Structure 1
Amino acid sequence: MEKRTERDNFGEVNIPLKALYGIQTWRTATNLSFSGQLLKEYPEYIVSLAMVKKAAALANLEAGLLSPSDGNAIVNACNQLIQGHYHDHFIVDILHGGGGIGTNMNVNEVLANLANETLVGTIGTYAPIHPIEHVNASQSTSDVCHTAIRLAIVSSFERLDHELTKMHVTLREKSQEFMGVTTISRTCLQDAMRIQLGEVFSGFASVIKRRHHSLNESVMSLLTVNLGATVIGNGIGASEIYRAVVIPKLQEVTNMNVTLRENLFDAAQNIDDLAHMSTQLSLLATSLIKVAKDLRLLSSGPEAGFSEIIMPSVQAGSSFFPGKVNPVIPETMIQSCFQVLGCDRVVQAALEHGELDLNVFEGMAGANILNGLYMLANSAKSFTELCLKGITSNEERCRELSDTFIPVITELKERMGYSAVAKLMAEEDRETIKNLLK
């Protein structure tokens, strides 16, 4: 492979000749990689970074800090990334240390090289467009990545938003479908009173709707960002004109209702908005675990379990038992939610370990939220399409269970009172109870 040589204060590096990234990206990829999760695998984040850089370039043009030629070349380069091109040149580990410097420099170098290729036909020389002097003008890694990761989360949420809406509609329809099926309820995993199977599913539908609403509110709160605040919130390095217009420019570029944080020092120091959103995601995951576990129990058997519902068969469940079908889709949902809970713990740790005037772990928090959104969107789709939509009731089994002893004596209690029935139960006088029920 042909190489080119780039130099910085730490020496020389040989980089693939056609690579759009440069030496700072290479150093991050070499020194700080550990997860195997590369930035190029997060297209929403790359697009959001490019949108931030485009808004900054437009603001710098208006402030007279970039020549029309240079500014337009950067804007055009940003448009190419926004359109989905050249994402394979984003090779840094998305979880790298250093407060996100590698992410910011990766996008700076790619944009500089794309702009220079347009202007002079060469890459790797960083003239006339320099990654820091021009692409990063009036910006810091802190406000660029802070803003872009939030835009990426809002954008990524759209898939899960859609899937949760479908899930709620499906559960609501199942609730209506099963409202005429009487079965048994259980408390403490013991027999309780009669209940309509549709009422059980109405509870599932309601919790998903509530958690979806809370999650949506927390996601939308992330549209309050700190672009223009530079490193720690005082805006040093950005002109007054730039700071006045960069948020309106970002609104135009993203078509989102982006606003400026009330306290920009707070924005640099604290990532509790990300932590709050992650908490809502984890609450959704915990609720989905409960629903999926209940469905496993209700479908257990089919002969030696509850067997009140029948879930669709999607594949063989065992390499040992011929014909055995397991609840693999709910189990996949549960495992996906376990992973989301793990991602949330990382986010909370990132909040806890922020120090003084800048939380350098913000990028890791954002990446784990993106991972959680991606996993839940995929598993939620499978859960709805391959499980929930095809669930049917086992009406004969439900009727059998609803006519068992505890549900019946619960109804007798309404006629005789709790104490009288409890006395008969304590005396194990089932014959008297049966006669009273006739």
Structure 2
Amino acid sequence: MAILWLADVLRQAGVAVVEEGNWQARGVSGAFAPIGVLWHHTAARSSAANPAPALGICINGRADLPGPLCHALVDYHGTFHLISANRANHAGAARASGPIPAGDGNTMLIGWEIDYAGDQPTGADQAMTSAQYSACVAATAAVLRKLGRDASYARGHRETSTTGKIDPSFVDLNAMRADVGRNTTSNVAVYRGSNSTFYIRKLDGSGLLAQIPFGASGDLPAVGRYENSPYDNLAVYRPSDASFYIRPANGGTTIRIPFGNPGDLPAPGHYENSPYDNLAVYRPSDASFYIRPANGGTTIRIPFGQRGDIPAIGRYENTPYDNLAIYRPSDASFYIRPANGGTTIRIPFGASGDLPAPGYYEGLPYTNIAVYRPTTNTFHIRRANNTTQAVVFGDGSLGDRPAPGRFQ
């Protein structure tokens, strides 16, 4: 397996990337089937004037170890220099750590070499910069999403080394993993129809993250990832003129894209091999999804569900794309269409009057089933261990509808 997608995935996560030569062909012989990410430091002293002193060694190797020595080097400013899309000599033999089993680390792990001195015996110590830390967290989260793994599959070399490696120094690896998990987690949020405003809750539950007016009376939330940003865009669907209205990440001029028919319900999702979500609607009158291809070509129609159903799109199985899914208020159940088009999966959850609110609430590679109960202003989230978490937020009496997304 070659990770030829690495540049695209990192850029989509907002990470600065430099492609070093023919990095997609560079590698060493042997198996490469990555399941996680391994963090290192180079032990070279970087600076603003010399941000990537170990770049040449990471590409070409040392006398005792041929290059490439990692898949990317992270320079002083947090820029990722891509070195290899194939097997690299960075991990050696690995001992078991978290979900990573003992074995050949070079087969199992994608490696970032973070260019800083670390713990030096001469006393010339250096920790990673905040730019390096932030970039590594964002990049690791994006790659783990691509691999279908959660934050526990990110490890430090000192956790897997069988020879006493100490890298990466001066960082709490558990805290760094927690930051990776937060980077992949949905915020609880609502769209208030009475004043056309998004209300977004902080991930740690400590209070309101943002209150952003957007849209108009009668709009429905249509949050999605529509541009090159690590976060979701605020967006609404206006049934009266069958159009999506998307707020750019920089808060600039609203983008309007007509799609669907009056009365349709928004159903955006990641349906094809594109870095962004597709615009899509669910048409209650004929119980069908209508999906707009990324190239703007012929609309795809897929019948699913029945009249009265509400779209509940999410990534519910091990596939790179979202599943078509609906929530049926009449029997309080999610109905999920498998990626192979096989037998529909029914999962009872919620109660009469609930609204579907699926999201990545645990930082896992799959979407949690969830509902919003307007009568009690509560999100009910079905966790991976089959327990239910209740989160009070919003005000159903003011017309709040669930609008979860990755906003923080």
TM range (shorter): under 0.3
* Structure with greater strand share of residues: 2
Query: Normalising to structure 2: TM-score of the pair?
Result: 0.24
Answer with 1 or 2: which has the greater Rg. 1
Query: Normalising to structure 1: TM-score of the pair?
Result: 0.23
* Structure with greater helix share of residues: 1
